[in-house]
Structure 1
Amino acid sequence: MADPIALLGTSADPPTRGHQALLEGLLGLYGEVATWASDNPMKQHGAPLHLRAQLLQALVNEIGDPRLRLQQDLSSPFALATLERAHTLWPGRDLIFVVGSDLAGQIPRWRQAEQWLRLCRLAIALRQGWPLQPAALDALRSLGAQIDLLDLTVPASASSELRKAPEPGQVPTSVWPLLLEHTLYGLTPSRC
């Protein structure tokens, strides 16, 4: 059987050094990683999906590893649709659905969580500043989740904070030109 493929959907609103660290870390754990920009129904987004996909593609290009790909056709506001699409793209492959520790407690409220958790293993990466609560793990396991706690620590950078107050050191180099070209999040060369 082929190696599992890690799946990381993200709002990428905008991609941060945390996204970069997570993607690079996943490449150290898995033979293939697919990522995509997604509309999260629990969030307000600061840029349209097509522009966030371009930002994420710039980051994928910067990482420059052929085992990492932007797979935008996996994008859906709902994990079940994403995983069904992934099973169509990679029949017979084990799918590892990756989330940060900040999302672990929300997953039981996601649409059809019990159903989609059966289609994959759930891998949780610890984000600095967002400790993983034992109650969250218990709730996930009660839904049937097979959980892998990843030996990765993702820096405490958050897209929501960058939208409020740009911090150049938290934005990957490849992402800046597109942020400025499209004046996303109110950014202009003088504001950066």
Structure 2
Amino acid sequence: MSRGTIALLGTSADPPTIGHQALLEGLLGEFPRVVTWASDNPSKRHGAELKQRSNLLDRVVQTIGNPRLQLAQDLSSPYAITTLERARQRWPESSLCFVVGSDLATQIPRWKHCDQWLGLCELGIVPRKGWPIEDGDLQGLERLGARPRILSLDIPATASSAVRQASGDDQIPDTLWPLLLEHNLYGFHSSSA
């Protein structure tokens, strides 16, 4: 466990899956504190409003029920540099580890001001099935100032996109069904009696 380091996990949570839940639980085994939030990804179209996605993610956080895990929605920004500036203001004495899936690691060199924010934190990379991490990718990130750390967590192969395409109902945590049905999110509706 990294002493004093806060793991930061922003996610579209569109919707959160059992993979998100497993990731948060896995991070709790690696870090003394884990902070998450729902964010708008500037390169994606989202299936639900940010507030709804934050509420869904909060339900997952509450279900996990660990006091070392918190939802900090005010860290949310489409840009990692803004999120990290907010986190550094909130926790000036703590080390930060910005966590991404291996599918995003190769995109980071195209993110806004990556050369400025990568040096402000450790970069935690969680391998995703089907998205191998190549040595060349890691070296490219290091040249930009990153301190990459591979987090070997066993995360189920899930994708929010499968849920949005109506082929991943089994990837939704049980705790989310009441909210999804109540608000008719992602095409799920309560059956009328």
* CA–CA distance in structure 2, aligned partners of residues 102 and 167 of structure 1: 19
Write out aligned runs for 1:1-192 (5 A): 3-189=4-190
Residue identity opposite 1:98 in structure 2:
V
Give TM-score scaled by structure 2 length.
Answer: 0.95
**Inter-partner Cα distance in structure 2 for 1:136 and 1:13:** 27
Query: Matches of 1:135 and 1:118 in 2, distance apart?
Result: 19
CA distance in 1, matches of 2:19, 2:25: 10
Unaligned runs of 5+ in 1: none
Residue 32 of structure 1 deviates from its aligned partner by 0.4
Alignment partners' CA distance in 1, 2:140 and 2:42: 21
Distance in 2 (CA, whole Å) between partners of 1:184 and 1:92 is 40
> 8 Å contact 1:128–1:153 — kept in the other structure?
no
Is the Cα–Cα contact under 8 Å of residues 34 and 68 in structure 1 kept in the other structure? yes
The secondary structure found in structure 1 opposite 2:154 is strand
| Alpha-carbon offset, residue 167 of structure 1 | 2.9
Secondary structure of the 2:41 match is coil
* Number of residue pairs aligned between Structure 1 and Structure 2: 189
Instruction: Calculate percent identity across the aligned residue pairs.
Output: 59
- 4+ long deviations beyond 6 Å: none
- Runs of 5+ in structure 2 lacking a partner? none
Helix, strand or coil: the match of 1:154? coil
CA contact (8 A) 1:94 1:120 kept: yes
Aligned equivalents of 1:180 and 1:6: distance in 2? 31
Whole-angstrom distance in 2 between the partners of 1:144 and 1:167: 37
> How many angstroms apart in 2 are the aligned matches of 1:138 and 1:102?
16
Secondary structure of the corresponding residue to residue 8 of structure 2: strand
Contact kept, 8 Å, 1:122 with 1:146, in 2: the verdict is yes
Q: Comparing 144-153 with 160-169, which one deviates more in the overlay? A: 160-169
Any idea what the Cα deviations from partners look like across 1:87-138, whole Å, max 9, x if unmatched?
1110121000000011000000000001010110000011122211222212
What TM-score, normalized by structure 1, do the two folds share? 0.95
The Cα of 1:53 is off from its aligned counterpart by 0.2
Deviation at 1:160, TM superposition (A): 0.8
Shift of 1:59: 0.3
State the Cα RMSD in Å: 1.1
